[in-house]
Amino acid sequence: MRYVFSFFIFLLAAACHSAEPDGSVNVVARSGAIRLGSSPLAVPLTSVASPAKLDLTRKTLLVFKGMYAAEQPGITYRIYLGTGSPVPQDARHFAGTINFFSAVPLPGATPKTDQPVELDVTALAAMLLNGKLSVLLVPEGVPGTSATPEIKSIDLIVQ
């Protein structure tokens, strides 16, 4: 019974995440705290929709949600998208850069972790058909020791 319940929860979660109200489809996702540091970090993504049924000519976004840092890290992160391990750090797999400049709360203010950061990865969409995707986050420098940059979730969405 426990296994049936777990499987039901998995199916329910996949159904909730695979279709957006605007008709876009969430293809892969990763949720849970992703803590960044001074070393490259590979984050495997989990499929929530079948890539074979997608129109890969449509706009495809890599969406980072819940970005937060206790203090300014003072650096940016290069993002690479690919299959296999490790994801190559080359122009063919480069998705863009992210930063935490707006993710640090001002003194006395509530952190705004609800503003997603989107990277247009339409040119990389063909990789969806080649296996399990991973996102590689590469720091461009060493973040401040008290910064503790974190991302709550990463989604790949076909609009």
Say how far apart CA 105 and CA 97 lie, in whole Å: 21
Other C-beta atoms lying within 10 Å of the C-beta of residue 71: 15
- What does the domain layout of the chain look like in residue ranges? 2-158
CATH, range 2-158: 2.60.120
Say how far apart CA 112 and CA 109 lie, in whole Å: 9
Three-state secondary-structure class, residue 135:
strand
pLDDT tens-digit map of 51-99: 666 677 788 899 999 998 888 899 999 999 988 778 899 999 999 999 9
pLDDT grade for 128, boundaries at 50, 70 and 90: low
Average confidence score pLDDT of the chain: 79
- pTM of the shown model: 0.79
Asked if residue 149 has a cis previous peptide bond (ω within 30° of 0), the answer is no
Burial 85-108 (b: 16+ CB within 10 A, else e): eebeeeeebbbbebbbeebbeeee
pLDDT grade for 43, boundaries at 50, 70 and 90: very high
pLDDT grade for 116, boundaries at 50, 70 and 90: very high
